[in-house]
């Protein structure tokens, strides 16, 4: 990704996930939810983490925030953030980073806010823990944040409860809380999935504007490729707990190299190119379960380009024409066309 535009402007790496494996101890033994995931985020970069339900994208983000239950979770690899490995940090140290230097926005704006406290109280909480501001200053800052996320009448909203706000407004409040301490990294886990398209557009524009203003790196976790196309400069595609492709948005959408990325893009109905009764391309079969991961390529069973080697040997993620692809025979390569 060295030729990426954003990387050139700000080559400083904010987050570097290296070979992350996250497993859960269960009655059925150790279950590996995320395996050998590596990616980097530079300051001011907007990166999408894409995949279908159960592919490990939320586990990856929660591993970065260390929000998974400690007593059953085992990590390996490293998550470098500001010179420290977050996986080795004690809980106390993590608390100083969480909500302060790394913030997170959750999917459900309806449930992520505490219904019994006012908007102002919830904004105050983050400021109280992480800053040395006095009471009056915190109120000013909170109202300033509400203004920043374009909430009308912020002074009045400050004293209102979550149920008095619409879904879009609540998501704005969550963004305001996340940005309260000016984090270096913002993780947005499906921030617009529960919202209508017109409200979704408002929230995405807000996130993009704020990112330009504050130079925060944003990791956007989503299953909606349209949202990625609209906002992200780079995309990481996950399948069954692994990263299968990592490329700039433009490359991925126009020339996907991993068969899974290609199939995923083809299964979305395309606007404006309707043919009567045309069927959508589908991916046959199901995602393998975590208990029964195939030893070879995890996508092999459903892949149109499968060869014998795919079943026997797990492909490593490797550089193919300036992007990372986990496939023995990437789409469009000389080896693939032999099949």
Using CB under 8 A as the criterion, which residues of the chain lie in contact with other proteins when the complex forms? 52-53, 166, 168-169, 196-202, 204-205, 208, 223-230, 232, 249-250, 253-254, 263-265, 267-272, 274, 277-283, 286
Q: Hey, what's the torsion of the CAs at 47, 99, 209, 207, to 10 degrees?
A: 60
Q: How far is the CB of 13 from other proteins (least distance, A)?
A: 23
Rounded CA-CA distance 125/128 in Å is: 5
Measured distance CA(54)–CA(131) in Å, rounded: 37
- Minimum CB separation of residue 310 from other proteins in Å reads 19
Q: Which is nearer to other proteins, 143 or 225 (CB)?
A: 225
Strand, coil or helix: what is 62? helix
In the block, residue with structure tokens 């080697």: 309
Tokens read off for 131 = 């800053």
In the complex, minimum distance from the CB of residue 12 to other proteins, in angstroms, rounded to a whole number = 24
Which uninterrupted H or E stretch holds 172? helix 167-179
Are the C-beta atoms of residues 135 and 123 closer than 8 Å to each other?
no
Q: Which two tokens stand for residue 19?
A: 């070979």
Nearer to other proteins, 2 or 198 (CB): 198
Distance CA 24, CA 217 (A): 29
Nearer to other proteins, 202 or 314 (CB): 202
3-state secondary structure 94-124: HHHHECCCEEEECCCCCCCCCCCCCHHHHHH
Q: How far is the CB of 110 from other proteins (least distance, A)?
A: 11
Q: How far apart are CA 333 and CA 338, in angstroms?
A: 9
Q: How far is the CB of 282 from other proteins (least distance, A)?
A: 5
Minimum distance from CB of 45 to other proteins (Å)? Answer: 14
User: Looking at beta carbons only, is 51 or 120 nearer to other proteins?
Assistant: 51
Distance of closest approach, residue 227 Cβ to other proteins, in angstroms: 6
Query: Between residues 71 and 273, which has the closer beta carbon with respect to other proteins?
Result: 273
For other proteins, give the closer residue by CB, 67 or 201: 201
C-beta closer to other proteins: residue 97 or 263: 263
- CA angle, residues 175, 220, 195, in degrees to nearest 5: 60
**Please, which residue, 136 or 286, has the CB nearer to other proteins?**
286
Least separation in angstroms between residue 107's CB and other proteins is 13
Is 157 in a helix, a strand, or coil? helix
SS3 135: helix
Q: Which two tokens stand for residue 234?
A: 């780079």
């Amino acid at each position: 990704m060295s030729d990426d535009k954003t990387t050139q402007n700000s080559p400083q790496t904010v987050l570097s996930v290296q070979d992350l494996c996250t497993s859960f101890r269960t009655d059925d033994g150790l279950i590996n939810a995320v395996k050998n995931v590596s990616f980097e985020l530079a300051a001011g970069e907007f990166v999408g983490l894409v995949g279908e339900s159960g592919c490990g994208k939320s586990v990856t983000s929660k591993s970065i925030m260390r929000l998974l239950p400690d007593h059953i979770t085992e990590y390996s690899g490293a998550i470098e953030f500001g010179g420290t490995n977050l996986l080795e940090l004690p809980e106390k140290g993590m608390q100083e980073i969480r909500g302060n230097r790394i913030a997170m926005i959750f999917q459900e704006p309806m449930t992520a806010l505490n219904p019994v406290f006012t908007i102002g109280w919830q904004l105050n909480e983050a400021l109280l823990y992480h800053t040395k501001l006095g009471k009056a200053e915190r109120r000013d800052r909170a109202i300033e944040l509400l203004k920043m996320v374009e909430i009308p009448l912020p002074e009045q909203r400050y004293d209102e409860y979550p149920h008095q706000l619409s879904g879009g407004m609540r998501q704005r409040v969550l963004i305001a809380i996340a940005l309260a301490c000016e984090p270096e990294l913002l993780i947005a886990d499906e921030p617009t999935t529960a919202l209508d398209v017109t409200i979704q557009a408002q929230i995405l524009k807000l996130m993009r504007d704020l990112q330009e203003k504050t130079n925060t790196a944003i990791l956007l976790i989503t299953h909606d490729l349209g949202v990625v196309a609209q906002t992200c400069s780079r995309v990481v595609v996950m399948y069954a707990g692994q990263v299968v492709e990592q490329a700039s948005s433009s490359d991925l959408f126009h020339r996907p190299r991993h068969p899974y990325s290609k199939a995923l893009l083809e299964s979305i109905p395309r606007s404006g190119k309707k043919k009567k009764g045309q069927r959508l391309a589908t991916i046959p079969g199901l995602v393998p379960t975590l208990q029964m991961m195939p030893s070879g390529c995890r996508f092999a069973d459903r892949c149109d380009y499968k060869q014998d080697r795919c079943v026997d040997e797990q492909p490593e993620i490797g550089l193919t024409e300036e992007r990372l692809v986990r496939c023995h025979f990437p789409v469009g390569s000389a080896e693939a066309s032999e099949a």
